[in-house]
Chains A and B, each alone.
Chain A
Amino acid sequence: EAQVTQNPRYLITVTGKKLTVTCSQNMNHEYMSWYRQDPGLGLRQIYYSMNVEVTDKGDVPEGYKVSRKEKRNFPLILESPSPNQTSLYFCASSLSPPLAAYSYEQYFGPGTRLTVT
């Protein structure tokens, strides 16, 4: 089954304790991205990756890191989480990067609800 998986689905942690949220897709997609969703603010992009070893900042990258060493995986790293990073996080992938002229369908993972106390 074609899908994007994320782990963990729920996480409660404390300020400053490094954590990683994993994301994996089995569709051989080139493009992957991370979003955070907060009430009233919609979906905001954190980082995206056009292909292996190619990553770039989205709208809200502060406090996050990513890596793309393999095509299928795109982990999100919070080196020193803070309470303002409490949010719902989604990983997404698509066949090719969105373009101004045309964008492919984004497939979203189930989400990771993170609470930082």
Chain B
Amino acid sequence: GQQVMQIPQYQHVQEGEDFTTYCNSSTTLSNIQWYKQRPGGHPVFLIQLVKSGEVKKQKRLTFQFGEAKKNSSLHITATQTTDVGTYFCARGSQGNLIFGKGTKLSVKP
């Protein structure tokens, strides 16, 4: 019911290629957060999306929230080796944050 599904589970790209990860829900999301976890590190907050159709950019990262607020995506343009890590989406619920299983990105130089 409240789970968020992330696809793909793994993505291997050549440096310079684009990358997209998707976060889907069967129910309407009130808000969605994105986190990045570097190898051996801890999750670090990237952004929160709240409005239907919202698009936010952080340098080469573009975050989108679907019009129906049931999905979200993170797109990285021209990946670099520093983008390596696992990207998680998380939905807010009353009292807790529910994380997707993440997309692990590897970048070949």
A positions within 8 Å CB-CB of B: 33, 35, 40-45, 48, 50, 56, 58, 90, 92, 97-103, 105-111
Contact = CB atoms under 8 A, between A and B. Distances in A.
B96 to A, nearest CB: 5
6 contacts: A44-B99, A45-B97, A48-B95, A102-B50, A106-B45, A108-B43
Interface of B: 9, 30-31, 33, 35, 41-45, 48, 50, 88, 90, 92-102
B94 A33 contact: no
Contacts of B43: 43, 90, 92, 106, 108
Contacts of B98: 45
Contacts of B94: 98-100
Contact of A101 (B9, B31, B33): B31
Given A42-B100, A48-B96, A97-B95, 7 more contacts: A35-B99, A42-B99, A48-B95, A100-B31, A100-B92, A100-B93, A111-B42
A32 B4 CA distance: 22
A94 to B, nearest CB: 8
Contacts of B50: 102
Nearest to A56: B95
Contact of B45 (A40, A97, A105): A105
A103 B99 contact: no
B88 A103 contact: no
A101 B30 contact: yes
Nearest to B33: A103
Contact of B97 (A40, A106, A107, A110): A106
Contacts of A50: 95
B101 A42 contact: yes
Nearest to B44: A108
B92 A103 contact: yes
Closest 5 CB pairs of A and B: A103-B92, A42-B101, A108-B42, A105-B45, A43-B99
B60 to A, nearest CB: 21
B91 to A, nearest CB: 8
A103 B101 contact: no
A40 B101 contact: yes
